[in-house]
Structure formats: C-alpha cells, structure tokens
Amino acid sequence: MTALTAAQRELLDSQVVGVMATQPPQGHPLQSVVYYVRDEEQLLISSVAGRRKVEDVELTGWASLCVMSFTHPYPSATFSGSTKVLTEHIGGPTAALAQRFMQLDEPPEPQTDEALASVGRVILALTIERVAAISHLG
Amino acid sequence: MTALTAAQRELLDSQVVGVMATQPPQGHPLQSVVYYVRDEEQLLISSVAGRRKVEDVELTGWASLCVMSFTHPYPSATFSGSTKVLTEHIGGPTAALAQRFMQLDEPPEPQTDEALASVGRVILALTIERVAAISHLG
C-alpha cells in the first residue's frame, strides 16, 4: 500500500478509463484500455476469465494502470502493485463498472457471484503499491 | 511492419499522446504518457538519454504504445514492435514533437543532431509490427 496524494486521488476519481499493462511470464507486456473504479487504495477492473490480461494476473499477481486527464498538458501517473483475480463479492463493483461502461444514471442491480461466474465475469483488484511516471500532477 | 487499417491510421493521426510501455530485462513493465508523431508505419517519440524507457529500449529493442480517443466508448488500440533509439537526423521529428508539446502554431526551427546530443535528446522509433487490444475501432 502507498498513501495516495490528494492530486493522485483526484486524478483517479475524475477519470473512468485507463491503460492497463500486464506481464506474461514470457513475452511482451500487454496494454489495453479498461474501465476502473477506485476503492480506497485499490483499483477494480471488470474482465472475463480466459482473457490474456486475466491469465497474466493469475500467473504473475501484478498489473499497472496508467491514468491521464484528457487535456493538455495531460496530467498523468502510473499506479501499480499486487493484483488479484476476484470471483467472490464482485456483484457491487461489477455493477459500478457496468454503470460507467454503459453510461447509466444509476448502477444496475448487482448480480450474484453465481450469475457472474456463469458468464465468466471476474474483478481484477490492483492494490496501489507504487505510483510512478507522475507528470503535471499537483 | 504491418499494414495499418484506415481506422487505425485515423486514430493515430487524431491524437497526440499515448501510453508507452517498455520492458526491462528484469522487473516490471514501465508505462508513461508520451507525445508521438506517426511517420508511415513508425511512431516517433522524443525522450532523453538515461531515462528508464530509453534504457529499456536500448536493452530490449521493443516498446508498445496504446492510443485512445477521449470520448465514450474510447476507441483504442495498442501498437507494438521493434523500437530503436535514434540520435541522427532527429531534428525534424524533435521539432514536430516540440510543436505538439508546446502547442505552437508552427514547429520550431529544427536543431542539429549535435545540439540535441548536447542535451541528451533522442528519438524512440517504434516500427508497428503488431496491432492488438483493438476496441471500438471501425
């Protein structure tokens, strides 16, 4: 865990997407755009079992997320740390992420873990242990 | 080299920043926001000798750049491939990148390679060999 600064929290809470990097045991890192929500010093990302980013996290227990504001000079930082694949108690964050993804006024009714498991839904939970590449922030 | 689609070229040409990932021989990938310009199927990024991303590229010859549009649903793709550190004939791209970085109407007068070398300026040249994590593009 690391203590986020006010500017870092503000950046994370002002955006809904970031670029996630995962690292396979062999081969090159993978980057992709993901929706996230912040829960204290964790970043939660919805994904599907079997996707490469989920497999990477299962194998390495690590990920990073680079988040930026969308106007010049593009304030940004990269948040990284231990990352887990969660399949329990994931109804709430999955609904919060669906709200962002579908641009709904309210989050949809949370689904049960069983219902989410039946379609392979998982949550990647990144514990922020390091903040790097900090640019134009505070 | 890979043939970019029209939608991929349009994405690259509509944006000025992306998230670059490099991979050290040991340890975790590094992500940071960078300005880029496209030259055919190469992406050119300005950096400074000694920075970790430059050292990573010197050691591994690889990088990726994830580029996204800034409005929902965030069309995006990750461009990756062999990457080199250039120190010759870099006046033109360095000036083009300075224009973007400083939001100038015109690029500044290109500097000589010698002048750029004296302040450690280099160009990272990423040859696009792979396009992955394509989302909401065309």
Q: Residue A110: inside a domain, yes or no?
A: yes
Q: What is the pLDDT of residue B85?
A: 98
What band does A18 get if pLDDT is binned at 50, 70 and 90?
very high
Q: Residue B72: inside a domain, yes or no?
A: yes
Residue A1 has pLDDT above 90, yes or no: no
Average pLDDT over residues A7-32: 96
Query: CB–CB of B19 and A23 under 8 A?
Result: no
> Which CATH number covers residue A79?
2.30.110.10
Facing B28 at nearest CB: one of A33, A64, A76: A64
Partner A contacted by B48 (CB < 8 A): no
Of the residues B19, B82, B135, the best mutation for testing chain A's interface (the one with the most A CB atoms within 10 Å of its CB) is: B19
Q: Residue A1: inside a domain, yes or no?
A: no
The pLDDT tens digits of the residues spanning A87-127 come to: 999 999 999 999 999 999 999 999 999 999 999 999 999 99
Q: Residue B102: inside a domain, yes or no?
A: yes
Beta strands in chain A (DSSP E): 17-22, 30-35, 37-39, 42-48, 62-68, 76-86, 121-127, 130-135
Q: How far is A57 from chain B (nearest CA, A)?
A: 13
Q: How far is B75 from chain A (nearest CA, A)?
A: 9
Average pLDDT over residues B101-112: 94
d(CA B89, CA B108): 16
Structural domains counted in chain B: 1
ipTM: 0.95
Q: How far is B124 from chain A (nearest CA, A)?
A: 17
The pLDDT tens digits of the residues spanning A59-77 come to: 999 999 999 999 999 999 9
d(CA A27, CA A104): 38
Q: Residue A98: inside a domain, yes or no?
A: yes
Which phi and psi (to 5°) does residue B19 adopt? -105, 120
Provide the domain limits for residue B88: 6-135
**Joined tokens for residue B127:** 């040859």
Q: What is the pLDDT of residue B106?
A: 94
Q: Residue A31: inside a domain, yes or no?
A: yes
Query: What's the mean per-residue pLDDT of chain B?
Result: 96
Residue B118 has pLDDT above 90, yes or no: yes
Cα torsion at A91, A92, A98, A100 (round to 10°)?
A: -170
Q: Residue B1: inside a domain, yes or no?
A: no
For B52, the enclosing helix (H) or strand (E) is: helix B52-60
